[in-house]
């Protein structure tokens, strides 16, 4: 099947006398058995479900559906993007191991890696992933994983996944890619050699700003380990959230097609606008588009708080990827955990705004930002 078709037709048709058109929500904490012998059949592998923390048809659908679109053997869903990242890391790394991560990470991942992984006895080095020499110099005897993002947050650098896969393969280590911004609609890292792919399914997989979820995909061997970590750490996703994630996933290609087109138009319009110092937007992420995020840097003389109050119908939020166009302030949200010096060294300045472009008419989106800049400039002159 081509992507648009595959995106809608999962899971495969169920074989039963009465089957609803959509999968029911298995809103249950546990599953029942006829007797103790029947319950034992779960542990022998003859039955799939015992206790929802260990697995549920709805969470399995979300993991399986994302894995199919990513071209992976298996997927596991969890309660959030960070929990999926942790499960994926712990499927590879353990006490005494070392990880190399890109220095321009999402702030939440940076905090997880720089602080929490130390509690597991896992060492992390942050390097410039654009410099092969820096990566290879960071490899140690106990290095087990390279970690990066397919499109980085918030400066939208498109990662050279093929290059990282070559380095990982040559050093005998695994490669893990956060594909949240790109989604499998644009980039499928497994096809370039990534061993593990992770999503904050809260974003484009769910797509409607009504669910918090994560998904990790990869080989059956790795994902069975990741799924076990999800269960043992208690970071499983609830049935309702998983069901909402699956519902959102089925419209991924339609939403991304529209949002990528709108984002490209907005980026082009903002490049010509007085008061916008820089526009960050990928140039060649994929033949199908360059993503739905545009990051801008306002000129120093524009007050960023005044700008945020001049956006009209555009929503101000701490996250991204809903149907509606929204903005956030990376220095105070996604990258708040990073020390100011480190933030600025990465290029995340106090004048930077990340725009999550929605499905509205592109003319309305462009006008909203043109008017916001105009109002902000007028306030200065007044």
Instruction: Verify that 170 and 110 share a domain, yes or no.
Output: yes
114 DSSP 8-state letter: I
| pLDDT > 90? residue 103 | yes
Res 323 pLDDT > 90: yes
In a domain, 206, yes or no: yes
- Residue 15 reports pLDDT greater than 60: no
Share of the chain above pLDDT 70, in %: 97
Find the CATH number of the domain harbouring 42: 3.40.640.10
Reported confidence tier of residue 214, pLDDT bands at 50, 70, 90: very high
Report the pLDDT value the prediction gives residue 16, as an integer from 0 to 100.
56
Banded pLDDT at 80 (limits 50, 70, 90): very high
Say yes or no: 174 and 189 in one domain: yes
- Model confidence at 6, in pLDDT bands (50, 70, 90)? confident
Domain-embedded: residue 9 = no
Residues 358 and 236 in one domain: no
Are 296 and 177 in the same domain? no
Cα–Cα distance between 276 and 270 in angstroms, integer?
Answer: 7
Closest CA relative to residue 223, chosen from 100, 59, 99, 113: 59
Note whether residue 240 is domain-resident.
Answer: yes
Per-residue confidence at 18, pLDDT binned at 50, 70, 90?
low
| Mean pLDDT, residues 310-338 | 93
C-beta of residue 207 within 8 angstroms of C-beta of residue 322: yes
- Domain end among 249, 271, 290: 249
d(CA 218, CA 145): 14
Are residue 75 and residue 161 in the same domain, yes or no?
yes
What's the token pair of residue 165? 């896969």
Number of neighbouring beta carbons within 10 Å of residue 147: 27
For the segment 263-307, what is each residue's pLDDT rounded down to a tens digit?
999 999 999 999 999 999 999 999 999 999 999 999 999 999 999
Q: Is residue 245 part of a domain?
A: yes
Q: How far is CA 108 from the centre of its chain?
A: 12
**Structure pTM?**
0.94
* Residue 5 falls inside a structural domain: no
pLDDT for res 13: 60
Query: pLDDT value at position 336?
Result: 86
Q: Tell me, what's the pLDDT at 283?
A: 92
Higher-pLDDT residue of 184, 8: 184
Tell me if 10 is assigned to some domain.
no
CB 146 within 8 A of CB 164: yes
Least confident of 36-50, 58-72, 88-102, 326-340: 326-340
On the 0-12 / 13-18 / 19+ scale of CB atoms within 10 A, 87 is buried
CA atoms of 104 and 323, how far apart (whole Å) = 26
pLDDT for 228-260, tens place per residue? 999 999 999 999 999 999 999 999 999 999 999
Distance separating alpha carbons of residues 353 and 328, to the nearest angstrom: 6
- Please state the three-class secondary structure of 86-114 as a single string: HHHHHCCCCCCCEEEEECCCCHHHHHHHH
- Specify whether 51 is located in the same domain as 105: yes
Q: Got the DSSP string for 240-282?
A: HHHHHHHHHHTTHHHHHHHHHHHHHHHHHHHHT-TTEEEEE--
**Both 221 and 278 in a single domain?**
no
pLDDT for 355? 98
CATH of the domain at 275: 3.90.1150.10
Residue 354's domain spans which residues? 252-381
Put the strands of the sheet holding 174-178 in their side by side order: 74-78, 214-218, 196-200, 174-178, 143-149, 98-102, 123-127
**Domain match, 243 and 265 both:** no
Q: Which residue, 249, 281, 296, sits at the end of a domain?
A: 249
| 300, 358: one domain | yes
pLDDT digits (tens, 9 = 90+) for 146-184: 999 999 999 999 999 999 999 999 999 999 999 999 999
Residue 89's pLDDT is 98
Domain count, the chain: 2
Residue 11 lies in a domain: no
Of residues 365 and 342, the one with the higher pLDDT is 365
What distance in Å separates the CA atoms of residue 295 and residue 367, rounded to the nearest whole number? 17
């Amino acid at each position: 099947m081509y992507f648009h078709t595959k995106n809608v037709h999962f899971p495969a048709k169920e074989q039963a006398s009465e089957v609803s058109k959509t999968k029911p929500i298995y809103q249950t904490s546990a599953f029942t058995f006829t007797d103790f012998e029947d319950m034992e059949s779960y542990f022998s592998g003859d039955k799939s479900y015992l206790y929802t923390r260990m697995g549920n048809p709805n969470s399995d659908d979300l993991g399986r559906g994302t894995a199919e679109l990513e071209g992976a053997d298996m997927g596991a869903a969890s309660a959030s993007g960070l929990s999926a990242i942790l499960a994926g890391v712990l499927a590879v790394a353990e006490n005494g191991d070392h990880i190399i991560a890109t220095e321009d990470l999402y702030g939440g991942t940076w905090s997880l890696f720089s602080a929490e992984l130390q509690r597991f006895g896992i060492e992390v080095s942050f390097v410039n992933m654009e410099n092969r020499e820096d990566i290879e110099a960071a490899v140690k005897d106990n290095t087990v994983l390279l970690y990066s993002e397919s499109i980085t947050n918030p400066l939208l650098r498109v990662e050279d996944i093929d290059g990282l896969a070559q380095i990982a393969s040559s050093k005998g280590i695994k490669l893990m890619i956060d594909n949240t911004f790109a989604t499998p609609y644009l980039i499928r890292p497994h096809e370039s050699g990534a061993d593990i792919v992770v999503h904050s399914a809260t974003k484009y997989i769910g797509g409607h700003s009504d669910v918090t979820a994560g998904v990790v995909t990869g080989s059956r061997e790795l994902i069975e380990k990741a799924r076990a970590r999800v269960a043992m750490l208690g970071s499983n996703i609830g049935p309702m959230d998983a069901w909402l994630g699956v519902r959102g996933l089925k419209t991924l290609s339609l939403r991304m097609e529209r949002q990528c087109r709108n984002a490209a138009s907005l980026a082009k319009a903002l490049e010509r606008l007085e008061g916008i110092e820089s526009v960050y937007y990928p140039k060649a992420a994929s033949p199908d588009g360059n993503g739905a995020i545009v990051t801008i840097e306002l000129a120093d003389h524009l007050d960023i708080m005044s700008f945020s109050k001049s956006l009209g119908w555009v929503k101000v939020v701490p996250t991204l990827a809903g149907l509606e166009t929204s903005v956030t302030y990376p220095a105070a949200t996604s990258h708040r955990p990073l020390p100011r010096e480190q933030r600025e060294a990465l290029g995340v300045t106090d004048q930077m705004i990340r725009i999550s472009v929605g499905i509205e008419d592109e003319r309305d989106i462009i006008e909203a930002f043109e008017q916001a800049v105009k109002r902000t400039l007028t306030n200065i002159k007044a």
